[in-house]
Structure 1
Amino acid sequence: MDTPRAVIIGGGVGGLTAAVALRRSGWQVTVLERADSMEPVGAGISLAPNAQRALDVIGLGDEIRSLAAWQGEGGMRSPGGRWLSRTDSAAAAERFGGPLVLLHRATLIDRLAAGLPASAVRTGCPAHLVDPGTAGGRPAVIGTPDGPVEADLVIGADGIHSAMRGVLFPDHPGPSYAGFTTWRVLVPAPAEPFAPHETWGRGALWGSQPLKDGRIYAYAAAVAPAGARAADDERAELLRRFGDWHQPVPGIIAAAEPGGVLRNDVHQMTDPLPAFHRGRTVLVGDAAHAMAPTLGQGGNQAIEDAIVLAHHVAPGTDLGAGLAAYTADRLPRTTAVVRKAARVSRLMRLSGPVSVAVRDFVMSTASRLGPGLVLRTFDGIADWWPPRPTYAAGTNDAPVRPRWILTDENRDARR
């Protein structure tokens, strides 16, 4: 039999994970990336245990776990510095079966790209869907600057404002503005150590998290009109909004380069798609289920998508049935995560003094009753496990047994 060909449009986290997983299961893969290089947009990414277990399937889980930097206590604070809730890295790892890992997005992209031959990734290659194909008949067709390309499977990993989603589901309204904007920055670690934290204010949020390489990844969010930008620069905007918050927030802002602060409005799709596939074409990641970053699950869900997709479309199986099974697996789960992230973002956007006081009181009370109450926010999300694979490492590497595979008996006990 000829090796089936998959074309992935978009070279971000979801697209590259799908390419690696499909190649390991026997597909010939090509990634078409519009940008001229694979340098990712974005400073950092948080990978929870659910994504780490998905990465076990392609041999990257342990490498990612080794990059965990959070040790000891952390939690949520008020702008004045008062701790609203505390939790512990060991407690989180015990509850969900692994650490929370924050890393530079470029590090993850590099690790994923290393699992592909150089010829599999074409940068500077904008592509568009011409024909989604039919699962049991004609191939899908992609338009490229070099002419049309046929494929047995096309994967749309082209992000929040996905053009492929619009072709597959033209009647869907797509993502809408979530009501707030975000900033991200990487700086050297300050001289004074601090506990990792998220600080919640009135319609605003700040997070300071250490990376394994010694730098600090900081992120902020605030209610703002869509499309608004600072009249001077975004570091100055951060100083105006967060400069009087507790340390290390002002120090981190002061250490940032004025041009090194990334700002992006947040869009989400609380109205789910009717399916994640049509014909021979399928969507993963933000193209399928754009979500607010308030749970830190956007990249994690894209990784899950890619691994589950590869599980269901192994060469030699019925592609139509496999894509339908992928939609059946992923649509309910990602819809639930999108909506939960939206609920959390509504709490962050509270700005009235009474509503903020009530929110902070509830957080503080829940923490005193037990740190497990705070961690329960991620129950059903961070404790996810990949499906039992239909392949073991695939045709391009020596067969392996991923560490997460357990027997039916002890799998339930482990969870």
Structure 2
Amino acid sequence: MAARRAVVVGAGIGGLTAAAALCERGWRTTVLERAPALEPVGAGIALAPNAQRCLDTLGGDRRTGDRVRAMASFHGSAGLRLPGGRWISRSSQAAAAERFGGPVVVVHRADVVALLTGLLPAGTLRTGVPALSVRPGGGAEPAVVGTADGELEADLVVAADGIHSGVRRQLFPRHPGPRYTGSTSWRAVVEPPAEPFEPHETWGRGRLWGSIPLADGRVYCYATAAVPAGGSEPDERDALRRLFGSWHHPVPALIDAMGPGTVLRHDIHSAAAPLPAHHVGRIVLIGDAAHAMPPNLGQGGCQAVEDAVVLAHLAGPGDAETDLDAALAAHTAQRLPRTTAVVRRSERIARLTALRSVPAVAARTALFAAAGRLAPDLALRGLDGIADWSPPAAR
């Protein structure tokens, strides 16, 4: 039989992983991306061992997971600090590798996009083409994606169009969608300061800052703060100086190293409630389109990668007569409970970072300091059952 046809909406990490996985299984795949080009934008992204093992299923002998591991930026220790500089807990990449079968790798998002795009056959990616409408299909009826250039019929449509997914709104018009968590994030990649530092995450009153070196020598900086939604400033460095300028080294130096217009600011959203399903007919939602979550566990991109690889596994080879309706039902059955649990765990950590009252922050600090002495790798336990997961093809 002729190879089956897939259309992927969105060329982010999840969409590109899905496209690569389906192409490797023989599907004729088209990726629609509304942006006019895939520019090297964004900042850092954490890929935990669960995502790395998924990427191991791609790339043949040159396992994509190994190529990601080669981008590992640091191999030593990191920890949790207070704004004055005091360390209250530490862990290490060695401890993460022992616990989860590998370290957590932090890389530039653009490098991962380039890696995944390189797996796609020529002509797979179409930029500047937004998906304007969808019809789910099902049974003997194909799904349909409407574009300005006409309609595309497909045996399978993968909606990877992000937090504000237009496909999700069409499929589930009464679902509340992601909600603002009460915190906003800032991210940037900068040149390192002259004085060295250890990778760290620092928690203050309703504020958080992280500094992690990247493989190219630059530093990935990320911050969150409990502020009203929808805000912006002509120069976001001013907001960072106001919120974090008095914190310990290297925070002020990193803010000063940021160039004009290089700071990304986004309100943080999380799934207000789980979707009733991750699919309708022959359309399946993956990544933030299905289960947006706070970034505090570093699992947003990882869960999108999991979604993509599990989907390709269940969909079967492109030249097989897999029952796709049953395959997508199985995808929802496998992915909805897992991603809902990860969303809820991420939200619990986010609420801890957003504490602002002096007594609550003092209690949080005392708890973490005591735990850091009694269980040095306590921070890693938040990823138990998550980072140690393996995709079906690897089991």
TM over 0.5: yes
Q: Counterpart of 1:334 in 2: which secondary structure?
A: helix
Aligned to 2:182: 179
Aligned partners of 1:7, 1:106: CA distance in 2, in Å? 22
Aligned partners of 1:94, 1:263: CA distance in 2, in Å? 35
1:158 aligns with 2:161: yes
| From 262, 265, 269, the counterpart of 1:263 | 265
Aligned partners of 2:377, 2:110: CA distance in 1, in Å? 33
1:22 aligns with 2:22: yes
Query: Which stretch shifts more, 66-75 or 220-229?
Result: 66-75
Paired residues for 1:273-312 under 5 Å: 273-312=275-314
- Count, aligned residues: 388
Paired residues for 1:16-415 under 5 Å: 16-39=16-39, 41-58=41-58, 59-134=63-138, 136-230=139-233, 232-315=234-317, 316=320, 317-387=322-392, 389=393, 405=394
RMSD: 1.0
Q: Counterpart of 1:371 in 2: which secondary structure?
A: coil
- Partner letter of residue 329 of structure 1? Q
Aligned partners of 1:273, 1:291: CA distance in 2, in Å? 13
1:26 and 1:314 in contact (8 A); partners too: no
- Partner letter of residue 294 of structure 2? A
Aligned partners of 1:252, 1:82: CA distance in 2, in Å? 19
- Partner letter of residue 251 of structure 2? V
Q: Unmatched 5+ residue regions in structure 2?
A: none
- Partner letter of residue 322 of structure 1? A
Aligned to 1:10: 10
- Partner letter of residue 77 of structure 1? R
Q: Unmatched 5+ residue regions in structure 1?
A: 390-404, 407-415
Aligned partners of 1:39, 1:292: CA distance in 2, in Å? 24
Shift of 1:373: 2.3
Shift of 1:41: 4.6
Aligned partners of 1:242, 1:372: CA distance in 2, in Å? 27
Aligned partners of 2:358, 2:90: CA distance in 1, in Å? 23
Q: Counterpart of 1:259 in 2: which secondary structure?
A: coil
2:144 and 2:154 in contact (8 A); partners too: yes
Aligned partners of 1:33, 1:229: CA distance in 2, in Å? 26
Aligned partners of 2:386, 2:363: CA distance in 1, in Å? 26
Shift of 1:127: 1.1
2:134 and 2:167 in contact (8 A); partners too: no
Shift of 1:43: 0.8
Per-residue deviation, residues 331-377 of structure 1 (Å, max 9, x unmatched): 00000000111111100110011100000111111110022322111
Per-residue deviation, residues 264-310 of structure 1 (Å, max 9, x unmatched): 00111041000000101000100000001111110000000000000
Aligned partners of 1:9, 1:91: CA distance in 2, in Å? 38
Aligned partners of 1:167, 1:358: CA distance in 2, in Å? 45
Aligned partners of 2:48, 2:246: CA distance in 1, in Å? 31
Q: Counterpart of 2:306 in 1: which secondary structure?
A: helix
Per-residue deviation, residues 61-116 of structure 1 (Å, max 9, x unmatched): 00001111222221000000001111111111111111111111100000000001
Shift of 1:228: 1.2
Aligned partners of 1:322, 1:31: CA distance in 2, in Å? 21
Aligned partners of 1:300, 1:374: CA distance in 2, in Å? 18
Aligned partners of 2:343, 2:39: CA distance in 1, in Å? 27
Shift of 1:40: 5.4
Aligned partners of 2:330, 2:278: CA distance in 1, in Å? 10
1:49 and 1:99 in contact (8 A); partners too: yes
- Partner letter of residue 323 of structure 1? L
Between the aligned residues of both structures, percent identity stands at: 60
1:270 and 1:339 in contact (8 A); partners too: no
Aligned to 1:409: none
Aligned partners of 1:280, 1:227: CA distance in 2, in Å? 35
- TM-score normalised by structure 1 residue count: 0.92
Aligned partners of 2:215, 2:134: CA distance in 1, in Å? 43
2:133 and 2:147 in contact (8 A); partners too: no
Q: Counterpart of 1:267 in 2: which secondary structure?
A: strand
- TM-score normalised by structure 2 residue count: 0.97
Per-residue deviation, residues 26-52 of structure 1 (Å, max 9, x unmatched): 111000000001125521111001100
Aligned partners of 1:180, 1:40: CA distance in 2, in Å? 26
Shift of 1:154: 0.5
